[in-house]
Amino acid sequence: MITVDSYNLHFDTTHLLKPKPENFEEVIARIKPIKCDLFYNIISDPTCGYEKKFSEGRIKEHYKNMGAEARFKNIFEEKIIYSNPKSYFVNKLATLLPSECNEIKSVSFTFCGHKELKRHFVARGSEFGICFFHDFLQDRGIRPVFYLNDSDTEMKKRMVFNSPHLLEVYKKGYDMRWEKEWRIGSDLHFTQNDIAFVIVPQEKHEYYVNWFSEIVEFEDIQIITSNTYKSPIDHLIFYPQQTNNSWDQIEIFRDNDIRGFKIDPDLFNELDYFKKMRFSDNQIEKLDCLAKNTIILNYEYAYVNKFLEFAKKVAGLENINELFADYDSIASNIQEAVDTQRDLIISLFEELFRRCAPNVD
């Protein structure tokens, strides 16, 4: 969804300018080309390899002994992500502790696709995360990490002079380029409007729906589960059962005006591993589309509505019509992700029923 042009970040509206899909094949064709590259901050657990090796002198004292979940809560209680010292220079300070060198402090994000994020869960020892809107991060100065290996001497000198917090070196023993890391060179203060959604483990979803509802500043925050990224089949099974969804039952095999029949989504909660894998292999395309559309639904709806509200504020001004020439197409497509989510879930549950229901205990 987000594209990069000379470090400028843009929301790609290509799919919002297309005609609405008229059948299920067109629904799939619409979603498949969309790249779900977004900015995520995954909360580290102190047990992860990075912190076990490098935390001394880098992490605030009150954070050091917090687990990932406690840190996640603390971020929202304090409404800030603290910057930590990192970069090529972090182990090269002559007399200071890393925490005393503000020039190399930053907040890290990965700019990656939905299939890549599960590797970050493993690396950080945590499935708690925050997805921020790109325009908010751009306004705060986010930039990609700069690798000294890949540049000439003059460029290296310019980067040291201007942005030492962005500098890194990849090595044969550990090539961190897979992280696709971007950084902001300061603490990050934020509000609910700056966040597209948060990520929590599936088993924590209901708890955090209730937890956030008690915090006035974040009571309307969107929550998706880590299954969206790491287990599309579990995402399918449990998504309709989540507290903030309204799928008490799913009507399957409906044919126009001829009613189908309803099933409870928890019918498949105990599906064994091998059945899940066989189903996933057979329905990999649709499951991937469901995961992507879940992300699109949570990111796009809020961001596009912000544009539509702005367009209304400047409506009627002279000489701006061509700037908003796409308004009608975008406005008419804003509901499409909601409709697509329904279509995908019904289609996948029909296949799940065909293949697995007779053998469910």
102 Cβ partners below 8 Å, 6+ apart? none
**Residue 137 has what pLDDT?**
97
Calpha distance 78→290 (Å, rounded): 34
Helix, strand, or coil (residue 328): helix
Per-residue pLDDT at 323: 78
**pTM recorded for the entire structure:** 0.92
- 201/43 Cα distance (integer angstroms): 12
> Using CA of residue 222, residue 225, residue 231, residue 232, what is the dihedral sign?
negative
pLDDT truncated to tens, each residue of the chain (361 aa)?
Answer: 899 998 899 999 999 999 889 899 999 999 999 999 999 999 999 888 777 666 566 777 777 889 999 999 999 999 999 999 888 887 777 777 777 788 889 999 999 999 999 999 999 999 999 999 999 999 999 999 999 888 888 988 998 898 989 998 888 878 889 999 999 999 999 999 999 999 999 999 999 999 999 998 999 999 999 999 999 999 999 999 886 676 778 888 877 777 778 888 888 888 889 999 999 999 999 999 999 999 999 999 999 999 889 888 887 776 677 778 888 888 888 889 989 999 999 999 999 998 887 554 4
**Contact between residue 301 and residue 340 where contact means Cβ atoms under 8 Å apart:** no
- The encoded tokens of residue 13 equal 């509206």
Provide the token pair at 98: 């890393």
Cα separation, 257 vs 12, in Å, equals 37
**DSSP result, 283-313:** THHHHHHHHHHHHHHHHHHHHHHHHHHHHHH
Predicted pLDDT at 221: 95
Q: Where are the beta strands (DSSP E) in the chain?
A: 2-5, 8-11, 38-42, 80-81, 84-85, 105-112, 129-132, 143-144, 146-147, 167-168, 181-184, 188-189, 195-200, 223-225, 250-252, 261-263
Q: Which pLDDT value is given to residue 360?
A: 44
Residue 353, CA distances (Å) to 213, 234, 278, 360, 361 in order:
35, 15, 14, 10, 13
What residue ranges do the domains of the chain occupy?
A: 37-196, 231-359
> Residue 189: what are its φ and ψ, rounded to 5°?
-90, 145
Helix, strand, coil shares of the chain, percent, nearest 5, are: 50, 15, 35
Closest residue by Cα to residue 342 from 299, 297, 282, 306: 297
Between the alpha carbon of residue 217 and those of residues 169, 181, 185, 212, 330, the distances in Å are 40, 29, 25, 9, 29
Phi, psi of 20 (to 5 degrees): -65, 140
Tokens standing for 94?
């002559």
